[in-house]
Amino acid sequence: MKNLNKGKTRRSFLKKAAMGSAVLTSAPYVWASSYEQQLQLERIYEFENFTANDQINLALIGSGIQGIYDTTSALKVNGVKLVAVCDLYTGRLDRAKELWGDDLFVTRDYREILNRKDIDAVIVAVPDHWHKKITIEAMKSGKAVYCEKPMVQNFAEGHEIINAQKKTGMVCQVGSQGMSSLGNEKAKQLYEDGAIGEMVMLDMYNDRYSSEGAWQYPIPPDANPDTIDFDSFLGRAPKIPYDATRFFRWRNYRDYGTGVAGDLFVHAFSTLNYILSSDGPNRALSTGGLRYWKDGRDVPDVTLSFYDYPQTKTHAAFNAAFRVNFIAGSGGGGGFRMVGTEGEMIVGSNSVKLTRSKLGMTPGGYSLIAYTEETQKKIKEANALKNLESRESTLNIGETMWNAPSNYKGSHYDHFYNFFQGIRGKKKIIQDPVFGLRAAGAALLANESYYQEKPVHWDPISMKLK
């Protein structure tokens, strides 16, 4: 590790393992030449009883699919009460009352929620093109905000949210729900302990093989201009006649969403930047196309994007490959694999798999076959004198799997727990607007490159296009 301040080498990892900081401490496994072990992740939550006066009164703005999942997770956190829901489709307001009670205040105008003094926090789970406006207005009205990812639809909006948060002082958490997970926490610790050496590349993929996975969400039979406030949905987007498909499948359109990059890449960037304590990439190149789901959408269903991360104090220069395929005949699946000079980690919300291998430094039969027996003997003797493969290089080789326990509350719960603890002044927000823009900005570079058909450059420090 010649270029970095932190010594993330095999030697440093072994030393920390011996001291117990890397959890790989169960002899004889650690010091054997090869091992395979299963370990358990753990988390302790602070439990408190809250009176009615101490509760955080929560409102949901955007009671669609993600909004319902968000709120369901949020309400599992002790001391939180849902008091209001807003949505532009009356059927979702009816559904909210089915889920959370008839006494719930419901409205199709989010401003009615922001005007209420009894609401402490809001979940903003609306289409991407509404994120900035509602988030800023909510903070100005004195509400803490949990804004769904991606934080913004375009780059400039992020700085407006950052400035509004600094000016108002309100808590603002960006909702990439895997961010606060046990998997991320363990992977960050392992990386900083030198478990994989220097970062070399990231391999992320998300394969899907269903209409639902490709965002062809069902359109309810009662959808019509009376049950849907379509003009409000359009907001700043181009004005068009009522279109239920665009309302319920907005992710498929550039006017309202951010495509696979904003929906899926942003999760990976949140995790990657967190584990590495990184500000993000400085260059992106993206390609792909609309291969199968030709249903009127104007975003690709197959995307391959490549990113360059510059060297920093916390990581070496490395490359990242992101791939999404909405017509994967294999049936689907996903992965997040961090590859280093001395090992690799496969990171999930509930697990981390660490594999460390021996680096082959001495030539074998494949290359020696070209030389005479005498020359082969001399090469082997010379290599033996160089001690290219020391005993140290053979230590701590194998595979360790960390899994969350069966009673783990889940990453979504953890992210809301962090949000509400932040509101109570007990924890630092893990994904604030600056972090949110660095993740969203990196993801949106893929769209910028794809539609311009050329590489694009980004300043990860100032968070602006070059």
pLDDT band at 22 (very low <50, low <70, confident <90, very high): very low
Are 72 and 97 within 8 A, CB to CB? no
Report, as an integer, the average pLDDT of 353-382.
86
Cα–Cα distance, 223 to 307 (Å, whole number): 41
| Helix, strand, or coil (residue 453) | coil
Are 195 and 356 within 8 A, CB to CB? yes
Among 140, 122, 169, residue whose Cα is nearest residue 419: 122
Report, as an integer, the average pLDDT of 26-35.
44
Are 70 and 148 within 8 A, CB to CB? yes
CA atoms within 13 A on the CB side of 347: 35
Q: Which residues lie below 8 Å from residue 358, measured CB to CB, with a gap of 6+?
A: 389, 393, 394, 397
Residue spans of the domains in the chain: they are 10-43+187-224+251-413+433-465
Superfamily of domain 10-43+187-224+251-413+433-465: Dihydrodipicolinate Reductase; domain 2 (3.30.360.10)
pLDDT band at 359 (very low <50, low <70, confident <90, very high): confident
Cα–Cα distance, 292 to 377 (Å, whole number): 58
What is the strand order of the sheet 35-40 is part of? 35-40, 398-403, 351-356, 344-347, 333-340, 199-207, 318-325, 302-309, 283-289, 456-459, 464-465
Q: Which residues lie below 8 Å from residue 422, measured CB to CB, with a gap of 6+?
A: 144, 171, 173, 428, 429
Give the pairing type, strands 172-175 and 144-148: parallel
Residues above pLDDT 70, as percent of the chain: 90
Report, as an integer, the average pLDDT of 409-420.
96
pLDDT band at 436 (very low <50, low <70, confident <90, very high): very high
Which range (46-60, 404-418, 449-463) has the least confidence? 46-60
| Residue with tokens 């010594």, as numbered in its chain | 7
Tell me what pLDDT residue 37 has. 87
Cα–Cα distance, 62 to 93 (Å, whole number): 10
Render pLDDT for 129-186 as a digit per residue (tens, 0 to 9): 999 999 999 999 999 999 999 999 999 999 999 999 999 999 999 999 999 999 999 9
Tell me what pLDDT residue 19 has. 41
Which range (56-70, 119-133, 357-371) has the least confidence? 357-371
Dihedral (C-alpha) 180, 182, 188, 192: value to the nearest 10 degrees? 140
Which range (7-16, 215-224, 242-251) has the least confidence? 7-16
Render pLDDT for 294-348 as a digit per residue (tens, 0 to 9): 999 999 999 999 999 999 999 999 999 999 999 999 999 999 999 999 999 999 9
DSSP symbols for 13-77 = HHHHHHHTTTS---TTTTTSSSEEEEEE----PPP----GGGPEEEEEE--SHHHHHHHHHHTTS
Cα–Cα distance, 68 to 58 (Å, whole number): 13
| Residue with tokens 């439990």, as numbered in its chain | 47
Question: In 169-218, which residue ranges form alpha helices assigned H by DSSP?
Answer: 182-192
187 pLDDT exceeds 90? Answer: yes
DSSP symbols for 115-142 = T-TT--EEEE-S-GGGHHHHHHHHHHTT
- 219 pairs with which residues across the strands? none
Report, as an integer, the average pLDDT of 266-277.
98
42 pLDDT exceeds 50? Answer: yes
323: which DSSP letter? E
Cα–Cα distance, 24 to 397 (Å, whole number): 11
Cα–Cα distance, 437 to 463 (Å, whole number): 7
Give the pairing type, strands 351-356 and 105-107: unpaired
Among 198, 307, 278, residue whose Cα is nearest residue 461: 278
| Residue with tokens 């020696």, as numbered in its chain | 368
Which range (264-273, 311-320, 398-407) has the least confidence? 398-407
Tell me what pLDDT residue 381 has. 83
Residue-wise burial string across 420-446, b where 16 or more C-beta atoms lie within 10 A, e elsewhere: bbbbeeeeebbbbbbbbbbbbbbbbbb
* Burial class of residue 203 in the structure, from the number of CB atoms within 10 Å of its CB (0-12 exposed, 13-18 middle, 19+ buried): middle
Among 254, 247, 205, 188, residue whose Cα is nearest residue 223: 247
393 pLDDT exceeds 50? Answer: yes
pLDDT band at 78 (very low <50, low <70, confident <90, very high): very high
* Mean predicted lDDT score pLDDT of the chain: 91
- 176 pairs with which residues across the strands? none
* Burial class of residue 139 in the structure, from the number of CB atoms within 10 Å of its CB (0-12 exposed, 13-18 middle, 19+ buried): buried
How far is residue 20 from each of residues 6, 30, 383, measured CA to CA in Å? Answer: 18, 11, 35
188 pLDDT exceeds 80? Answer: yes
pLDDT band at 389 (very low <50, low <70, confident <90, very high): low
Cα–Cα distance, 167 to 171 (Å, whole number): 11
Render pLDDT for 80-120 as a digit per residue (tens, 0 to 9): 999 999 999 999 999 999 999 999 999 999 999 999 999 99
Tell me what pLDDT residue 119 has. 98
Tell me what pLDDT residue 242 has. 98
Tell me what pLDDT residue 307 has. 98
Query: What's this model's pTM, rounded to 2 decimal places?
Result: 0.91
362 pLDDT exceeds 80? Answer: no
Which two three-digit tokens encode residue 304? 């391959």
Q: pLDDT higher for 278 or 46?
A: 278
- C-alpha gyration radius of the chain: 25
